[in-house]
């Protein structure tokens, strides 16, 4: 290793220590606020401000643009740490990292446009997310063309349409919008949009059972003027997915790590509850009962399997071999095991588990949302079966 490489390694190790120290401070703060934001359904803007002040929003940017170019392992561990405090904030952060990294690696984006976006993230603390899902079509992972259209009239491109489930909505500075041109042979792909432009409107439609503070509202685009340079990656509908497929595999693992973290937080709450709860007819903590000891063994077995599968994915990514379609199975397995783990805790302790004053019911509502992220379980298993059977 040459002198420069050694210096970079030392600097990054010191930076990792700084990041971990910041997360150790922020996580309990986020946890203390989580119930309030869950009740209100508002985005935790103070959490995001503290992540910004700690220098954590730009970590996935390329080094040349002031970031650390953190990879999947580090993205996932940071997101999981934040999720132990507030998973809604963690999901917004995950989207920030995944989009920043994907754009940074993309050969389709013009370097000047990358620099424009990255400067906004670095200097303003702007947030970015992909905006893809539509009311009529649903998730694009199941096929079809977007109804959101970008049209050229009198030399000006304008964007019209809407996107639902837009995580971060009111907190976002930028959207990477999945859209199609209205040309005779439409092109489909990404349109970069600054979300403070005239014609962008947010409809506060997100009122879900779980992950309530993600602000995943509907964003409407009404004749939004788009500079031509922001039409960044438009191709024929039958073009090979290429970069998008790789980014999708990465996203599934980071999302799985987030929901695994929710289950781990639920598990730790359960341990504390069982140690503290001493029924008068027992005269000892519930933790002394064999059935609860077996229950914790079952939960820990599920979480150990999750840890092993996530590590498998991280090692594949670290080695440069790529995640491949196995990433989809890892996401499915990890999220289902996380749901199972929290569900067992809820079933075992009865009414206290569903008391709104206890965090376990919130963890249960949140962890259930792991199933809604693309790809959904039926598609994952059908694809795996098709690969096996040809």
Distance linking the first and last C-alpha atoms of the chain: 46
What is the Cα Rg of the chain in Å? 22
Q: What residues have CB less than 8 Å from 34, skipping those under 6 apart?
A: 44, 85, 86, 87, 88, 213, 359, 362
Could you tell me the two tokens for 177?
């919008």
Q: 102, 126, 150: which is the final residue of a domain?
A: 126
- Domain match, 314 and 330 both: yes
Of 126, 152, 183, the residue at which a domain comes to its end is 126
**Domain finish residue from 126, 149, 182:** 126
Contact indicator for 250, 257 with CB cutoff of 8 Å: no
CA distance 33 to 305: 30
Based on the fold, state whether residues 49 and 148 are members of the same structural domain: no
Percent of the chain's residues with pLDDT above 70:
94
The number of domains in the chain is 3
250 and 382 share a domain?
Answer: yes
pLDDT in tens, 14-42: 889 999 999 999 999 999 999 999 999 99
CATH classification of the domain holding 70: 1.10.540.10
User: What is the pTM assigned to this prediction?
Assistant: 0.94
Per-residue pLDDT tens over the stretch 176-231: 999 999 998 899 999 999 999 999 999 999 999 999 999 999 999 999 999 999 99
Give the domain extent around 196: 130-235
Give the integer Cα–Cα distance in Å for 250 and 260.
16
Task: Determine the Cα–Cα distance for residues 384 and 122; give it in Å rounded to an integer.
Answer: 40
Domain CATH code at residue 187? 2.40.110.10
Banded pLDDT at 354 (limits 50, 70, 90): very high
Q: In 54-110, where does DSSP find H-type helix?
A: 72-85, 87-105
Averaged pLDDT for residues 313-326 = 92
147 shares its domain with 30: no
């Amino acid at each position: 290793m040459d002198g420069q490489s050694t210096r970079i390694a030392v600097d990054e190790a010191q930076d990792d220590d700084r990041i971990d120290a910041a997360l150790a401070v922020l996580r309990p703060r986020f946890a203390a606020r989580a119930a309030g934001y869950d009740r209100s359904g508002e985005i935790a803007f103070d959490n995001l401000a503290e992540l910004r002040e700690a220098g954590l929003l730009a970590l996935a940017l390329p080094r040349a643009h002031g970031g650390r170019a953190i990879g999947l392992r580090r993205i996932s561990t940071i997101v999981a740490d934040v999720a132990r405090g507030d998973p809604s904030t963690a999901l917004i952060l995950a989207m920030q990292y995944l989009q920043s990294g994907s754009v940074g690696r993309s050969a389709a984006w013009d370097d000047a446009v990358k620099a424009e976006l990255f400067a906004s993230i670095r200097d303003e603390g702007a947030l970015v997310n992909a905006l893809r899902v539509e009311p009529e079509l649903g998730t694009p992972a199941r096929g079809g063309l977007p109804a959101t259209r970008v049209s050229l009239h009198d030399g000006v491109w304008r964007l019209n349409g809407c996107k639902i489930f837009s995580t971060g909505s009111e907190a976002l500075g930028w959207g990477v919008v999945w859209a199609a041109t209205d040309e005779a042979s439409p092109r489909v792909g990404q349109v970069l949009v600054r979300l403070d432009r005239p014609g962008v409107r947010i409809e506060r439609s997100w009122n879900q059972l779980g992950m309530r503070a993600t602000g995943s509202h509907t964003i409407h685009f009404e004749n939004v003027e788009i500079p031509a340079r922001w039409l960044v990656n438009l191709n024929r509908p039958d073009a090979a997915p290429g970069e998008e497929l790789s980014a999708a595999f990465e996203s599934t693992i980071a999302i799985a790590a987030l929901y695994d973290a929710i289950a781990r937080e639920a598990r730790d709450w359960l341990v504390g509850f069982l140690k503290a709860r001493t029924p008068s007819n027992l005269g000892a903590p519930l933790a002394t009962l064999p059935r609860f000891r077996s229950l914790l063994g079952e939960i820990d077995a599920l979480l150990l399997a999750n840890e092993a599968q996530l590590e498998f994915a991280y090692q594949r990514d670290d080695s440069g071999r790529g995640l491949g379609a196995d990433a989809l199975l890892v996401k499915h397995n990890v999220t289902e095991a996380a749901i199972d783990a929290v569900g067992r805790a809820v079933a075992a302790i009865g009414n206290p588990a569903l008391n709104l004053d206890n965090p376990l019911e919130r963890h249960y509502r949140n962890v259930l949302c792991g199933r809604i992220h693309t790809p959904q379980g039926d598609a994952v298993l059908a694809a795996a079966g098709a690969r096996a059977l040809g």
